């Protein structure tokens, strides 16, 4: 009798398989959002669910993809990015939500992040603060192209990745960032950008605006009225999911052109 070898144990933090994942991934915060994005895929299959990390595989218009959740905050999200890369992912796009800072950005609009302010609470422990958090140009352009093709309201710019969700006793530089043209605030993207750039991987970020502006960021009573559970946001996330998946297909079609730009 032939005894087949035992399957290797999954990776320890996220529970994803150690090898064999497709190279193209959409990463989101909420496990329920991962499931919602997976509904767009053909042959979607849940491959792991451990803590906040829920992972699906499937295909989008014949492109094999991964959809995985990383929870809230950059330190935990970084663990997902590391283990997905170990399992075979080379191209990441974060689909998240964000609060608008720059005027003229409406709820449900998409912000495509060229770069991120590194106020994330984790990358400063990994590499000096002077190192930039920047999206891979090919990914940023693919997202922009996909958003235009979808006729979706979208904006390009720098986003502010901040570790603390609620304002505290330390004054925030929100007015300075608004004056500098920073588009939106969120909690994980700079960790992805630093991780990808230092590993020679491809990364982009598409963020659906779910409220806020620079005045609300420094007003605890205003932020207490924050409500991301509105139809305008849900519609924006669904639209953003399709745009993100389309951007991955554009990246997949352009792989030979990217080869010289990665390490």
- pLDDT tens-digit map of 172-212: 898 999 999 999 999 999 999 999 999 999 999 999 999 86
The model's pLDDT over 113-130, given as tens digits with 9 standing for 90+, comes to 999 999 999 999 999 999
Spans of all domains in the chain: 24-255
Average pLDDT across the chain, whole number: 91
DSSP 87: T
The model's pLDDT over 215-241, given as tens digits with 9 standing for 90+, comes to 666 565 555 567 888 899 999 999 999
pLDDT band at 89 (very low <50, low <70, confident <90, very high): very high
* Residue 205 burial (CB count, 10 A): 32
The model's pLDDT over 32-84, given as tens digits with 9 standing for 90+, comes to 999 999 999 999 999 999 999 999 999 999 999 999 999 999 999 999 999 99
Residue 152 exposure: Cα atoms within 13 Å on the Cβ side: 32
For 68-90, give one letter per residue: b (16+ CB within 10 A) or e.
bbbbebbebbbbbbebbbebbbb
Average pLDDT over residues 10-36: 97
DSSP 234: H
What is residue 7's predicted lDDT score, i.e. its pLDDT?
A: 72
**What is the spatial distance between Cα 177 and Cα 101, in angstroms, rounded to a whole number?**
8
pLDDT band at 3 (very low <50, low <70, confident <90, very high): very low
What is residue 100's predicted lDDT score, i.e. its pLDDT?
A: 95
Place of tokens 């991780």: 195
**What is the spatial distance between Cα 228 and Cα 100, in angstroms, rounded to a whole number?**
12
pLDDT band at 260 (very low <50, low <70, confident <90, very high): very low
253 three-class SS = helix
**Hey, what CATH topology would domain 24-255 get?**
Rossmann fold (3.40.50)
Residue 11 phi, psi (nearest 5): -65, 145
Provide the phi-psi class of 122: left if phi over 0, else alpha when psi is between -120 and 50, else beta. Answer: alpha
pLDDT band at 259 (very low <50, low <70, confident <90, very high): very low
pLDDT at 166 over 90: no
Sort 128 into a burial class: Cβ within 10 Å, 0-12 / 13-18 / 19+: exposed
pLDDT band at 168 (very low <50, low <70, confident <90, very high): confident
What is residue 205's predicted lDDT score, i.e. its pLDDT?
A: 98
Give the CA distances from residue 163 to residues 73, 217, 263, in Å, rounded to whole numbers and listed in that order. Answer: 6, 13, 29
């Amino acid at each position: 009798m032939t005894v087949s070898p035992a399957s290797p144990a999954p990776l320890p933090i996220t529970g994803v398989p150690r090898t064999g994942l497709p190279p193209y991934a959409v990463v989101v915060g909420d496990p329920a959002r991962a499931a919602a994005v997976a509904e767009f895929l053909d042959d979607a299959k849940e491959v792991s669910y451990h803590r906040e990390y829920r992972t699906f595989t499937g295909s989008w218009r014949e492109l094999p993809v991964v959809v995985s959740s990383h929870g809230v905050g950059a330190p935990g999200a970084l663990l997902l990015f590391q283990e997905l890369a170990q399992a075979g992912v080379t191209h990441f796009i974060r689909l998240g939500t964000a609060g608008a800072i720059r005027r003229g950005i409406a709820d449900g609009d998409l912000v495509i992040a060229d770069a991120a302010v590194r106020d994330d609470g984790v990358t400063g422990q990994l590499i000096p603060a002077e190192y930039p958090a920047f999206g891979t140009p090919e990914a940023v352009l693919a997202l922009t192209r996909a958003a235009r093709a979808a006729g979706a309201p979208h904006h390009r710019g720098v986003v502010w990745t901040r570790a603390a969700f609620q304002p505290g006793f330390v004054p925030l530089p929100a007015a300075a960032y608004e004056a500098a043209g920073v588009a939106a605030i969120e909690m994980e993207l700079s960790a992805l950008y630093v991780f990808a750039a230092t590993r020679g991987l491809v990364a982009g970020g598409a963020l659906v605006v779910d409220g806020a502006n620079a005045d609300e960021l420094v007003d605890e009573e205003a932020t207490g009225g924050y409500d991301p559970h509105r139809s305008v946001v849900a519609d924006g996330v669904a639209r953003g999911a399709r745009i993100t998946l389309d951007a991955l297909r554009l990246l997949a079609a352009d792989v030979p052109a990217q080869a010289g730009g990665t390490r």
